[in-house]
Amino acid sequence: MRLKPTSSQTVGPFFHHGLMWLKTPDLAAGASEGEKIEITGTIVDGDGAVVPDAILELWQANSHGRYNHPADRQNRKLDPGFTGFGRICTDKTGRFRFTTIRPGAVPGVDGKPQAPHINVILFMRGQLTHLYTRLYFAGDPALAQDEVLAKVEPSRRSTLLAQPVAGQPGHYQWNIVMQGEKETVFFAF
């Protein structure tokens, strides 16, 4: 019997399949309030090749700007059917899709409102450390006052903006680029 060496992979080929049961592509399924929206996109690596086995972990406030978490003690309405948390996977073509509620503005650490956004953590094979980013909504007037977005170089802010899809109300397109000239902004925590 001849042994073949195992291919070198930092996380392993099981990554995508081992987490499939955690998929939550419809965060809005139990929500009773707010505007339902759909976000689609593609993840590509530094060479422009699609990433077919990435996982996006999503965390967001509800339409009133409140997180469904015990630490959020704001005096804002809570929609108990909306958890604001989900995980989605890319498919063989690097595409992802999820449905959610358009989030409301939440206060920052200093109490000033942040523009509505979705917090995103990216996991993928070959990436030992997960990456943090945010998805904002192009055209939102609150973008100009968002303190986190203000810290991003103006020429790179567009990488964080989901664009409305023409002719499809409530549908947004947002792509993630891992490296290169149009690399998505990732945050260090």
In the chain, % of residues over pLDDT 90: 74
Question: Residue 18: its pLDDT value, please?
Answer: 55
Distance CA 89, CA 180 (A): 23
Determine phi and psi for 50, rounding to 5 degrees. Answer: -70, 150
Q: What is the DSSP string of 150-180?
A: HTS-GGGGGGGEEEEPTT-TTEEE--EE-SS
Residues 19-29 pLDDT 10s = 555 678 899 99
Q: Which domains does the chain have, with CATH numbers?
A: 14-121+146-177 (2.60.130.10)
- Cα separation, 93 vs 82, in Å, equals 29
